[in-house]
Amino acid sequence: MSRSPGEPTDAALLCAVADGDRGAFEVLYRRYAPWLAARLQARCADQTLVDDVVQETFLAVWRGSAGRFQADTPDGDAAGWLWRIGSRRLIDAIRGHGARQRLATALGRLRSRDEPSAEDTILLRIEHGDIADPLRRLSPELRAVLQATVLDGLSTRDAAVLLGIPAGTVKTRAMRARRQLRQELA
């Protein structure tokens, strides 16, 4: 995230938070909470769940994760570090609150949109090679698996939880999507 000159670095804020500095925590929260919420909303249509996950993420930071920041991320990428905490908490929340129901709600919301998601737009506008049409021809189930595993970088197990399907189904759909894309691009 961008910061103004004179504002503390993310690493400095996290060190201060680890020492119990509430002011540093507030600055960190204002700097990253909207960004984290937007990223999580792209993966989950349930706004209440997303809000809860953002709060749980920052609560974890306050309760002691900030002290492990330097050990967990030697490169000092606070955004990536917060995203890992938040995405794991989202997956845990989905596991505990009926993944199939949330997936149906999310898919219904996605289907009712007039505009494609940012990920779909990026995939459909790839300029290197003619891949937009083959991607459009993939079934929604195959595209969802590609988005979870390729764009979002989730493991097979985490993608299975997010999509509400068995891990074996994720592997099969990913294999089918790759095979279909290879055939159409050959």
Residue 104 lies in a domain: no
How much is the pTM?
0.50
Residues 16 and 88 in one domain: yes
Give the amino acid at 14: L
Q: Are 33 and 55 in contact (CB under 8 A)?
A: no
Instruction: Please tell me the total count of domains within the chain.
Output: 2
Is residue 68 in a domain?
yes
Q: Do 5 and 35 fall into the same domain? A: yes
DSSP string, 74-127: TT--HHHHHHHHHHHHHHHHHHHT-HHHHHHHHHHHHHH-SS--HHHHHHHT--
- CA 172-128-42 angle, to 5 degrees, is 55
Q: Give CA–CA dist 41/45, Å, rounded.
A: 6
Residues 79, 31 within the same domain:
yes
Q: Are residues 141 and 66 part of one domain?
A: no
Distances (CA, A) of 77 to 84, 123, 133: 11, 26, 36
CA 145, 146, 148, 149 dihedral sign is positive
The reported pLDDT for the residue numbered 79 is 80
Q: What is the CATH number of the domain that holds 23?
A: 1.10.1740.10
Q: How far apart are CA 160 and CA 157, in angstroms?
A: 5
124 domain-assigned = yes
d(CA 104, CA 97): 13
Q: What is the CATH number of the domain that holds 151?
A: 1.10.10.10
Q: Are residues 85 and 31 in the same domain?
A: yes
Model pLDDT, residue 3:
57
Tens digit of pLDDT at every position of the chain (186 positions): 555 667 888 788 888 888 888 998 899 899 999 999 998 988 888 888 899 999 999 888 888 766 566 544 445 677 888 888 888 888 888 776 554 554 556 555 555 555 555 455 555 555 444 566 777 788 889 988 887 887 677 788 888 888 889 999 999 999 998 888 888 776
Q: Is 49 among the domain residues?
A: yes
Residue 107 is assigned to a structural domain of this protein? no
Q: Note the pLDDT of residue 89.
A: 87
pLDDT digits (tens, 9 = 90+) for 109-118: 555 555 555 4
Domain boundary among 49, 65, 98: 98
Q: What is residue 170's predicted lDDT score, i.e. its pLDDT?
A: 92
Least Cα distance to 55 among 86, 13, 80 occurs for 86
Helix axes 156-163, 167-185, angle to 10 degrees: 100
Q: Is residue 71 domain-shared with residue 19, that is, in the same domain?
A: yes
Model confidence over 116-156: pLDDT tens digits?
554 555 555 554 445 667 777 888 899 888 878 876 777 88
User: What is the domain range of residue 128?
Assistant: 115-186
- What is the rounded distance in angstroms from the CA atom of residue 127 to the CA atom of residue 171? 27
